[in-house]
Amino acid sequence: MQKQQCLIGHELHDGLGQHLTGIEFSAKVLEGKLSAKRLPEARDAAKLTHLINQSIVQACQLSRLLAPVESGEEGFRNALQGLSKYLTKEVGVSCELNYESACADLRDHFVATHLFRIVQESTTNAIKHGQATRIEIAVREEDHRLVVSVKDNGTGLSQGWENASGIGLRLMRHRAQMIDADLQIQPAPEGGVWVQCTLSVQKDGLPRHGVGA
């Protein structure tokens, strides 16, 4: 399922996105020619160009939704940076990303995508259920282990949350199991919620157990 989503996401970006970009360019050329002749149809061409541009933006957004982590060594880091910027600029929640430069780049796309989804769900829960206004995402390496954590300043965990049947929490646990990672969710010392996912990795950035193979 995940591979199919990634394929669709990449096709939206590389296929449909590029095709729409070509159409937008042609529409701009047409708009310029009509404007040069001072024809009233130039306004219609301008509207068409604007609509095509909106379609490109929507295609890119859908592509990121289906395939948030790009392939390659910087894919995981870039995805987290994009999430942090989105939460800060679009959602209005202060989100800080601390990604230690010494960390081995996570090359396994399967593992990187599941880790990103865990972080994404953690931030969603912090905002939706915890009413958080500040979120901290941290990535560090300890003894050949990649540690990814999310802390927020929200209202914290509700009573009996361990037995909650919400799909978000179940998906987080399932994703952690899929990549043989340890997932911990507990109250943060200063309030809010602290989520930590730990995964053993080798120096080459690949999972120690070869989960994504």
DSSP per residue, 73-123? TTHHHHHHHHHHHHIIIII--EEEEEE-TTSPP---HHHHHHHHHHHHHHH
Does the domain at 75-200 match CATH 3.40.1080.10? Answer given as: no
Find how far residue 20's CA is from the centre of its chain: 23
Query: What pTM did the predictor assign?
Result: 0.68
Question: How many whole angstroms separate alpha carbon 10 and alpha carbon 4?
Answer: 10
Domain boundaries, the chain: 2-66, 75-200
One digit per residue, the tens of pLDDT, for the chain of length 213 reads 555 655 565 555 556 767 777 888 888 899 999 999 899 899 999 999 889 888 877 776 666 666 667 766 688 888 899 889 989 998 899 999 999 865 555 778 888 888 998 998 899 889 988 899 999 999 998 888 899 999 999 988 876 666 555 677 888 898 899 899 999 999 888 889 999 999 987 655 555 444 444
* C-beta of residue 72 within 8 angstroms of C-beta of residue 79: no
